[in-house]
Structures are given as structure tokens and as C-alpha cells.
Amino acid sequence: MTTSRGRYYAGLQLITAVSNANLSLRRTCNAIAKAIAKSMGMTGCRVLLLNPKNEYLTTIGSFGLSDLYLRKGPLDARKSLPEVLDGRIAVVAHAPSDERLQHPEVAESQQVVSIVAAPLMRGQDTIGQLRMYSRETHSFSRLDEEFLRAAANICAVVLERAELLQFKERVKRSCAKTPRRALPAQMPVSSLKPTEFAHESEVEFANLLDFYQIEWLYEPRSFPLGWNGDEVSQMFTPDFYLPELDMYVELTTMKQDLITSKNRKVRKLREMYPDINIRLLTRKDFARLLSKYGYGPMGDARVEGVGRILYSHVQIQRRVRSLGRRISKDYVGQRIVMIGVLKGVMCFMSDLMRHISIPMRVDYMDISHYGGEEDVVKITRDLDSSISGEHVLMVEDIVDTGMTLNYILAHLASHRPASLRVCTLLDRKPRRLANVKLDYVGFEIPDEFVVGYGLDYKGEYRNLPSIGILHQE
Ligand code: IMP
Ligand code: MG
């Protein structure tokens, strides 16, 4: 008994020391995981962070576990030992046969026999979890529990401090961007990024997803692509996983010549794992994605007017008229509410409604945009009247990533309309991330930034009667 007390004392000493050693978050968590596993005589340990909606657990530090075991994908917090969410310690005596585990077969292949999981708490809230693995059956004593609770408390403080530091960084960055902006009074809950990103573009991408309130995980899973006998010889780890969209995203912002090899890997991944949905965003794609918000790598590129007309005024009018007729036919005998998001949609909406022959109302919304005043997407102008029980037709100028529309449709659906459809003038499919259903589409356009007929670049060009491609240097 005294010897295990001694071991635990030494363990806690080590944990407090590494916690205060100014290491990166990942290295601190790795060191804590190691100290816990060694003190408890376990094979491995990992530190898991819970997402703000209490759905997914992602690994932020580990010790003693094979790569495959670690990267088996996001853990569903409600399926995998859910009692830990309520602040309890979970003990699994025989992992391969336990129903509470999400991937028991992985435990078996790694010869893991018993598992102990303890919550990381901030006050009453669970913010993460410690998980320990053993190749032997492990009994769990009162003393073990006391040690585990103490280690978990220190670990939770480490996470909180990391969160605070990251928040300070973010504020510093956003103040540099918009100098006169007031400091936010409060730290947003669970803003912790469990990650040290490899590239600035990954930080930017994570910020963009945060803005649109789209959950993400950084490098949560590796896919073996090739074997050498029993050993994995080639592996691919996509940068992001977006659980709500069930999509992996790989950003290739490195040298263009490396893209070919990455393309090959992605192709192989798609062949070997046909159920996996993966998107490759090249540096160019990504720059375009950001430049639409008037900043990012290409945000300051010199713009020299419209380079090429894509659709003339006459072509647009003809298409809008036929859309209006189709809509009137589809909704015959009903009345609709047409809703537009300001300001890009104004030309399209005012032309479209003049070709609608059924009774209708219009309403407008406005939302905050990435890179502006707000930290997350917000409705800055809401509807004038209720849409509950109404047939709603959401009208958009252009659907690009789909993130705006995804957000707005969720908002509208929560008001229980009788039906909800989408009509967009332009559809730029190559850059779609959120898969939203479009019922009426004017034109499918190539992957180019367009202006005119209501669409702007940094507020200008809306007054052009035609739609053109912006000429960028
Ligand atoms: P999404 O959320 O990425 O689908 O972006 C949709 C919004 O971005 C649109 O409603 C437009 O306001 C804006 N946008 C996207 N692409 C363009 C473009 O090529 N020109 C002008 N605005 C654009
Ligand atoms: Mg818009």
C-alpha cells in the first residue's frame, strides 16, 4: 500500500511540474498521460477533449498507444462510456466484449483488456476525459480513484489555461485586423482549439468553420493506404473532419508540386474507403474562399474591373423569367413567402418576383459576415413577420460553400414553415462544403469570383446589369 502511495505521490509531483513547464498543449498532455499511465501501471493513457456540444471526444495528448488505436476516428461521447459525461468514473473490466465501447474490435486487435475513464471537470461541467488502457485485468481501488481525480483536476486546469492563452491570441489577432474594435467582455465557452496547427491556413480554416458554427476535428483519423506484410507502409491523415457534414477536408497549401502526390493519395483513399467523403482544398481554392470575404491571402490582390462577361443582361432576364414561371406553376393554388438575404439578392429578387403569378409576400434578413465585427455568424436583421405554417421560398444570389445557406435554413426550419425550398440564381458547385438541397437554380457557374447584378466585391460592382468575372492580378 505504501509503495503505491509513494508512486502516486511521485506521479502527482511530475504532473504538477510538467503542467507548469510552459510546454505546448500537446506536449503537456502527452507528459501528463505518461505520468498517469506509469503511476497506475497501465499500458497507455490519453487525454480527450469534449466538443462544446458534448458530442465528440478528440485526443489532445497520449502515451503508450499505437497510432492506429489513437486515430480510430472521433469518439461519440454519448455512445462511448456515457456515464463519464455525468462526472462518473467508468471501469471496463473486459474491453472486447463491453457494449459501452464504440470500437471494441480495435481494443481487441490492440490487446487492450481493461479501460478506466475519468471525467475532466470544470466546476459542474465535463470538458473532457482521461482514458487509461491496460493489457491486463486491472482492479480499481479507492486509492486509484483518488489519484485519478487529482490528476484529472490538474489536467482540467491545464486545459483551461491553454484556452485562455489561445483566446488572448485570437483577441490580439482580431484587434490587429480591426483596430478600433472593443475587446469582448467575456471569453466564449470552450473556445479551446485542441491543436497546434501546422499551417496558418489551417488556423484560418478552423476560424471560418467556427464562425459558421460548424463543428470540426483536426486530424482525428489516419487511413492506412498500403501494407508491407503486417505493417502499414502508407498512411493518410486528412486535416479536418466535419462531423455534422460527415466530411473530411484536406488543405494543400504547400508547394504546388506536392499536390500531385496528395491527389494520388486522395484518389487511393476514395477507392479503398468508398464511404468516406473527402474534399481537397488547394491553396488556390482556399485563397478564393477567403478573398470573397475581402481578405486572406488574396484579399489585397489588385482588382482591375470586370475581365469577362459571363451572363448578359438579356440572358439573365430570360432565365429569371423561366424560373418565375416554374415557381408559379409548382406552387399553384398556394401562397408563398419569398425570403432574401441582403444585399446581394436585391436585383434577382426584384426581377424574380415580377414573374411570380401566385399570391406572395417578401421578407428580408441580414447576417454578419466572416472577417467583420462579429465572432460568429449572427442574424443582424430578422424577418418582419412569422413564417410558421407558410410556404417559404428562400432566395439566394449565389451558393458557394453553402455555409451561409446551411445556417439560414436551420434558422428558418426552427420556425416551422409548412414547406421550405431554395431558389438561387447562381450555383458554384466546385466549392461546396455544406451539402444543401437547391430546388431552383438559375445558372451553374465555374469556379470564378463573379460580380454584378447585385453581387459585389468589397461593396462595389452591384450596379452592373450583367454578371462578370472579376479581373484579379
Ligand atoms: P457561402 O456561404 O460560401 O455559400 O457564400 C454565400 C455568400 O457569399 C453569397 O450569398 C454571397 O453574398 C457571397 N459570395 C459568394 N461568392 C461570391 C461571388 O463570386 N461574388 C460575390 N459574392 C459572393
Ligand atoms: Mg449572400
CA of 246 to the centre of ligand 2 (A): 24
CA of 27 to the centre of ligand 1 (A): 40
- 53-77 mean pLDDT: 76
| Residue 401 Cα: closest atom of ligand 1 | 3
d(CA 66, CA 305): 55
**Residue of minimum CA distance from atom 15 in ligand 1:** 400
Of the pLDDT bands very low, low, confident and very high (cuts 50, 70, 90), residue 293 is: low
Which domains, and CATH codes, for the chain?
2-165 (3.30.450.40), 197-293 (3.40.960), 310-470 (3.40.50.2020)
**Residue of minimum CA distance from atom 11 in ligand 1:** 398
Angstrom CA distances, 318 to 311, 326, 328, 376, 466, stand at 11, 13, 16, 38, 12
Q: Is residue 447 among the annotated active site residues? A: no
Pocket test for ligand 1, best of 398, 407, 438, 463 (most atoms within 8 A of CB): 398
CA of 404 to the centre of ligand 1 (A): 8
The pTM of this model reads 0.69
Give me the residues paired with residue 441 across strands.
424
Tell whether the model's pLDDT for residue 437 goes beyond 90: yes
Amino acid at 184: P
Geometric angle at alpha carbon 117, from 20 and 33, rounded to 5°: 30
**Residue of minimum CA distance from atom 9 in ligand 1:** 398
Lowest-pLDDT range, 10-14, 211-215, 335-339? 211-215
| Residue 341 Cα: closest atom of ligand 1 | 10
- 297-308 mean pLDDT: 60
Quote the distance between the C-alpha of residue 395 and its chain's center.
25
Of the pLDDT bands very low, low, confident and very high (cuts 50, 70, 90), residue 57 is: confident
Taking residue 368's Cβ as centre, other Cβ atoms within 10 Å add up to 15
d(CA 159, CA 60): 10
| Pocket lined around ligand 1, Cβ cut-off 6 Å | 292, 344, 396-405, 449-451, 455-456
Which residue of the set 144, 239, 400, 427 is catalytic? Answer: 400
d(CA 20, CA 36): 16
| Residue 399 Cα: closest atom of ligand 1 | 4
Identify which ligand lies nearest to the alpha carbon of 341. Answer: 2
User: Which residues contact residue 425 at a Cβ distance below 8 angstroms, ignoring those fewer than 6 apart?
Assistant: 316, 319, 320, 348, 396, 397, 398, 442, 443, 453
CA of 240 to the centre of ligand 2 (A): 26
Greatest extent of the chain over all pairs of C-alpha atoms, in Å:
88
Pocket test for ligand 1, best of 424, 428, 455 (most atoms within 8 A of CB): 455
CA of 432 to the centre of ligand 2 (A): 15
User: Which residues contact residue 11 at a Cβ distance below 8 angstroms, ignoring those fewer than 6 apart?
Assistant: 35, 36, 38, 39, 40, 147, 151
Identify which ligand lies nearest to the alpha carbon of 211. Answer: 1
As residues whose CB is below 5 A from the ion ligand 2, the structure lists 341, 344
- The pLDDT tens digits for 148-182 are 999 999 999 999 888 887 777 766 766 665 554 44
**What pLDDT does 299 receive?**
45
**What pLDDT does 473 receive?**
59
